Amino acid sequence: MEVKTAKFKETPAATKVTVSGAEAVIKCLLEEGTDTIYGYPGGAIMPVYDELYKYRDTLHHVLTRHEQGATHAAQGYARVTGKVGVAIATSGPGATNLITGIADAQLDSTPMVVITGQVGSHLLGSDAFQEIDIVGISTPITKWNYQITKASEIPEIFAKAFYIARSGRPGPVLIDITKDAQFASMEFSYKKCSGIRSYIPYPEVDPEAVQLAAEAMNNAKKPLIVFGQGVILGSAEELFRQVVERSGIPAAWTILGLSALPTAHELNVGMVGMHGNYGPNILTNECDVLIAIGMRFDDRVTGNLEKYAKQATIIHFEIDPAEINKNVQVQIPVLGDVKESLELLLNYLKPNEHPQWHQEFKKYYDQEYEKVIKNDLNANVGELKMAEVIDEINTCFKGDAIIVSDVGQHQMVTCRYAKFNSTRSNVTSGGLGTMGFALPAALGAKMGSPEREVVAIIGDGGYQMTIQELGTIFQTRAAVKIVILNNGFLGMVRQWQQMFFEKRYASTELVNPDFVTIAKGYHIKTNQVTERAQLKDAIKEMYDAQEPYFLEVKVEKEENVFPMIPTGAAVSEIRLE
């Protein structure tokens, strides 16, 4: 592949206009097709907000109640649309409040451009009021960042920022703009960026590597595919389905890969990882060829690396060279854009079925069903289980909803049991595991896909970390359906304390407020389920609502999530109880 250099298409001189730096920021966003941004105003970004007021009929600004909420909302918007999410805040604490969301986007490869205001350039380095080195702070957690001190820099930097954020392996970019650069005048013209010298977002696919991968897959007796979010980010879902169906290879997913292949697909064998399904975890250590597609061998997927798939020939389809051999040594690396790689792979892949190998997965599924799934879904007595709630949502929403989950036990239960018919339907915090992610992310997801139902599944702990975004939902009237699974604990930590710390529940039991009353205070329609008999009607009422809806479900206090791979154990040492 030819190495690309910077290419720009400049606005003709006759169309150039003189604007302030602040207005240039708005014009750049519009040039990049931005229609919605999430943010919170303040002194150092006030000139941009003044221009936003003038463009309020063209560019929709959503006032979140906290800057972290702005980043998570931008993430939710980006995850369901594939577009670049945009968040904006002022300097100092406004900028530092963005850090968690930026880090989350970096670890989960979410395209996002974050704009921060900064003190005047003459004050830089003087510890001025609300001055913070946000470029230095954000360097380890951004794909690229830049501080603008001159208005004339704005168009080129914004063009580069959007190009870098969305190209190759996506990620967050931060632009810090001094206040004097926002006030200064400039002659505006926009230069769309289509390449940057030395930056190669799409490595050239090696046909020989693809042929080697196809040969190994064709000759395998016990092959297993593990697919991640790279399939979704590369818009390769249809090609991936064809690869799975032609090869007949069982396919398991990471939590961010969920929904790339319909959950009901006959070759979808479930989730790998710490709370994944029994069969795909055990058989990872029995397969003869392991095909990793768009996933990065995260520690929650691999368990003990010294015992991970040592018997297998490992093929890794990956766009980021840094991920090849980072955690797991692979025999056949296939570097490049997944869509291009899979399209080429289909030329060499032979039809196959592997019936005996599939029976192994069925055997382990039957064991998991008897020990875990049956009890999770059909408790019938005692306190409500989390899986019963997810199952009723499946029944009512029929697998067509976007489901946004927070972090904890409810996240693992949601990923294990939620049904999805189409891609970009599962939104959750993977790599960073950010509690508080779901409520603002669900708002962004609903704004990105207003025609789809969006259901947020949140634990009572994480919910209170960003509960103030109920105000944003109330103000925007975004019809998000919010389900709180309330067990009165920080459930995942409590489970570990029970299993590995002799039930010493140190600082994990919660004394919660009246969640229903709080939601009513934001004028959001509410309901509460305390008995199993109430669940079906409550979910149906939520489904029928054409407005924001809050549902609290009281679930079993000390329920544990199984299967589970204990820390330090191999994937094949997964426990059913």
Question: What residues contact residue 507 under an 8 Å CB cut-off, 6+ apart?
Answer: 490
Residue 153: other Cβ atoms inside 10 A:
18
- Asked whether the beta carbons of 92 and 118 are under 8 A apart, the reply is no
Instruction: Give the type of residue at 194.
Output: S
**The pair of three-digit structure tokens given for residue 115, joined into one six-digit string:** 């704009």
User: Which one of the listed residues 1, 10, 129, 500 is annotated catalytic?
Assistant: 129
Q: Identify the active-site residue in 27, 83, 179, 419.
A: 179
Respond yes or no: is residue 129 known to be catalytic. Answer: yes
In the set 67, 368, 453, 552, the catalytic residue is 67
CB of 102 within 8 A of CB of 432? no
- Which residue is catalytic, options 492, 515, 542, 554? 492
Gyration radius of the chain over CA positions: 24
- Does residue 130 have an active-site annotation? yes
Two structure tokens written together for 272: 């790998």
H/E segment holding residue 39 = strand 36-39
- Work out whether the CA dihedral 10, 16, 21, 23 comes out positive or negative: negative
* Neighbour-count burial for 401-439, b at 16+ CB within 10 Å, e otherwise: bbbbbbbbbbbbbbbbbbbbeebbbbbbbbbbbbbbbbb
CA 304 to chain centre: 25
Q: Is residue 259 a contact partner of residue 237, using CB atoms and an 8 Å limit?
A: no
Residue 338 main-chain phi, psi, to 5 deg: -65, -35
Residues 267 and 157: their CA atoms lie apart, in Å, by 45
Tell me, yes or no, if 564 is annotated catalytic: no
Q: Which two tokens stand for residue 166?
A: 């969305």
Angstrom CA distances, 4 to 200, 220, 318, 378, 521, stand at 7, 38, 20, 57, 55
Q: Which two tokens stand for residue 293?
A: 């597609």
Residue 67 is a catalytic residue: yes
The verdict on whether omega for the bond into residue 355 sits within 30 degrees of 0, i.e. cis, is no
CA atoms within a 13 Å half-sphere pointing along the CA-CB vector of 495: 20
**Which residue among the candidates 4, 130, 541, 556 is catalytic per the annotation?**
130
- What's the 3-state SS for 175-217? EEEEHHHHHCEEEECCEEECCECCECCCCCCCHHHHHHHHHHH
Tell me the torsion sign for CA atoms 516, 517, 518, 519. Answer: positive
Cα–Cα dist 311/314, whole Å: 9
| DSSP characters over 43-75 | GGGHHHHHHHHHTTTTSEEEE-SSHHHHHHHHH
Is-catalytic flag, 492? yes
Range 324-351 burial, b when 16+ CB lie within 10 A, else e: eeeebebebbbbbbbbbbbbbbeeebee
What are the C-alpha distances in Å from 256 to residues 39, 108, 119, 233, 400? 26, 8, 38, 10, 17
Q: Give strand ranges (E) for 345-410.
A: 402-405
Nearest-CA neighbor of 215 among 358, 347, 354? 347
Q: What are the catalytic residues?
A: 67, 129-130, 179, 492
